[in-house]
């Protein structure tokens, strides 16, 4: 039985419910409670683990032979506009409908991946739909390294077919993804005390975005731009660095960087800074039309600044460190094969903290990129840490699930779906490496601006994908 308007409305009912619950990465308890309570209300068996992953079972008489995993992640990337007041630990997201889109004012929407969770809940509650046995898997902390998926005991799953709903283009069927890791650096800082005038420089208005999906869009990384700016100003006038802070997620291209500086000739500094930033704006305006800045001159006072050596070290790192696309695939057209993103730049009491998100669709290339960074940072007296590793999802030559999805998509739309590999990481990689013989695909509605405050879900796209999923599940019985 195909779904009707009421069925699709239930998807958005559940999405609104999820938005009302704070569920940024690392804040998973309440959203997991919601999933557990859903299972109890609908008399469905469930499992919840110490990582707050939740599995909900809806078996048929053919379980487990006909079972299918429906999977999405519970966490969202929490970003907000600079001047917007919200506590992501306590406050929910307020979605709104605008010009055919579902969006949120001043914050990320969390359609990545809340719309997947909402679709799965709408399917689980609907006993009119003809489906195979369903193992609904809701994982946690995907956005900070697929933490939940890695912790999940996959022996709790019997299915050998899996539909991940974390792709972000309705016209694309994803069949392979990159592996990745987080590379962290702690550059030790020596401080000195000076009497000078504080100057705050905020580089802002950049697009930012997902460091996998948008890495090829030529978007400017605010942290890298800060290095360029500081290096130029170093050759123009004397100044000190109090702190440098940009981005808080390694997998998000930072759209803003705040520099706390000081100078004895603040007006001269501001004039030279304005002139250079205007030059940069002219250079990047075609790809970053909203780039702008603030320069605020404060009071003269006693300030704690980085020593000259530490200052030079951090400027050198930001100016010269690898960032962006490293290699394009020679096998798959227009696929970024290997990249990295300096997503976090943070001044702490004992040093400057940097974190890069590394990605590659080839494990050997990812290993080499990690070696490259180790070699680069050897010349600085710093601590490096590698973590958050997740595997690649290799393309399967034969996939019954892929074939059936393509047929279903064509039957409902009259068009061919695009079968692609992506440079971003997907939890499919973790499940495929843990469950031998797993036949896996990733689909999803079109989401624009994921991980940014411009995140938008095309409402008609969510309806389209939900209908395709319902039709596909009927064929899998």
75 noted as active-site residue: yes
Tokens found for residue 187: 């550059």
Q: Among this protein's residues, is 142 annotated catalytic? A: yes
Mutual angle of helices 222-234 and 266-284, in 10-degree steps: 130
Beta strands in 171-239 (DSSP E): 172-176, 179-188, 191-204, 209-210
Q: Where are the beta strands (DSSP E) in 111-208?
A: 134-139, 161-164, 172-176, 179-188, 191-204
- Dihedral sign computed on CA atoms, order 415, 421, 424, 429: positive
204 Cα distance to chain centroid: 20
65 SS3 class? coil
Query: Which of 382, 301, 316, 390 lies closest to 348, judged by CA?
Result: 382
444-449 contacts at long range (C-beta below 8 A, 24 or more positions apart)? 444/115, 444/116, 444/165, 444/166, 444/167, 444/168, 444/169, 444/170, 445/111, 445/115, 445/168, 445/170, 446/168, 446/169, 446/170, 446/171, 447/111, 447/112, 447/115, 447/168, 448/101, 449/209
Identify the active-site residue in 112, 141, 142, 143: 142
**DSSP β-ladder status, 161-164 and 456-458:** unpaired
For residues 197 and 300, is the Cβ–Cβ distance under 8 A? yes
| Backbone φ, ψ for residue 451 (5° rounding) | 75, 10
Neighbours of 124 (CB within 10 A): 21
CA pair distance 450, 389, nearest whole angstrom: 22
> For residue 67, how far is the Cα from the chain centroid?
29
Known catalytic residues?
75, 142
């Amino acid at each position: 039985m195909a779904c009707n308007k009421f069925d699709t409305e239930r998807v958005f009912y559940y999405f609104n419910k999820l938005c009302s619950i704070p569920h940024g990465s690392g804040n998973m308890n309440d959203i997991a409670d919601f999933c557990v309570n859903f299972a109890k209300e609908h008399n469905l068996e469930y499992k919840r683990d110490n990582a707050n992953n939740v599995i909900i079972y809806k078996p048929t008489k053919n379980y487990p032979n006909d079972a299918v995993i429906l999977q999405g992640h519970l966490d969202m990337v929490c970003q907000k506009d600079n001047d917007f007041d919200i506590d992501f630990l306590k406050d929910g997201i307020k979605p709104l409908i605008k010009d055919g889109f579902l969006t949120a004012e001043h914050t990320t929407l969390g359609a990545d991946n809340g719309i997947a969770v909402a679709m799965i809940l709408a399917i689980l509650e609907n006993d009119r739909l003809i489906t195979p046995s369903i193992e609904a898997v809701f994982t946690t902390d995907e956005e900070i390294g697929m933490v939940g998926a890695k912790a999940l005991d996959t022996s709790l799953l019997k299915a050998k077919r899996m539909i991940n709903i974390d792709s972000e283009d309705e016209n694309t069927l994803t069949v392979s993804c990159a592996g990745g890791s987080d590379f962290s650096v702690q550059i030790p800082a020596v401080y000195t005390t000076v009497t000078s005038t504080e100057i705050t420089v905020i580089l802002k208005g950049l697009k930012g975005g997902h460091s996998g999906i948008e890495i090829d869009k030529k978007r400017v990384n605010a942290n890298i731009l800060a290095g360029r700016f500081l290096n130029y100003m170093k050759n123009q006038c004397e100044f000190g660095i109090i702190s440098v802070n940009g981005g808080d997620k390694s997998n998000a291209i930072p759209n803003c960087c705040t520099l706390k500086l000081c100078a004895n000739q603040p007006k001269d500094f501001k004039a030279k800074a304005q002139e250079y930033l205007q030059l940069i704006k002219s250079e990047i305006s075609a790809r970053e039309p909203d780039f702008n800045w603030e320069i605020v001159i404060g009071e003269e006072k006693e300030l704690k600044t980085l020593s000259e050596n530490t200052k030079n070290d951090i400027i050198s790192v930001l100016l010269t460190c690898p960032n962006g696309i490293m290699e394009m695939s020679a096998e798959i057209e227009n696929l970024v094969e290997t990249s990295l993103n300096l997503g976090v730049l943070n001044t702490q009491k004992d040093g400057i903290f940097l974190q890069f998100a590394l990605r590659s669709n080839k494990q050997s290339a990812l290993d080499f990129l990690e070696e490259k960074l180790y070699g680069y940072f050897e010349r600085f007296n710093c601590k490096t840490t590698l973590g958050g590793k997740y595997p690649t999802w290799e393309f399967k030559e034969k996939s019954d699930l892929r074939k059936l999805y393509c047929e279903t998509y064509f039957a409902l739309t009259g068009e061919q779906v695009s079968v692609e590999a992506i440079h971003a990481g997907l939890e499919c990689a973790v499940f495929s490496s843990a469950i031998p013989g797993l036949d896996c695909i990733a689909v999803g509605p079109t989401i624009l601006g994921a991980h940014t405050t411009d995140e938008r879900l095309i409402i008609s796209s969510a309806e389209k994908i939900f209908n395709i999923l319902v039709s596909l599940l009927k064929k899998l019985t």
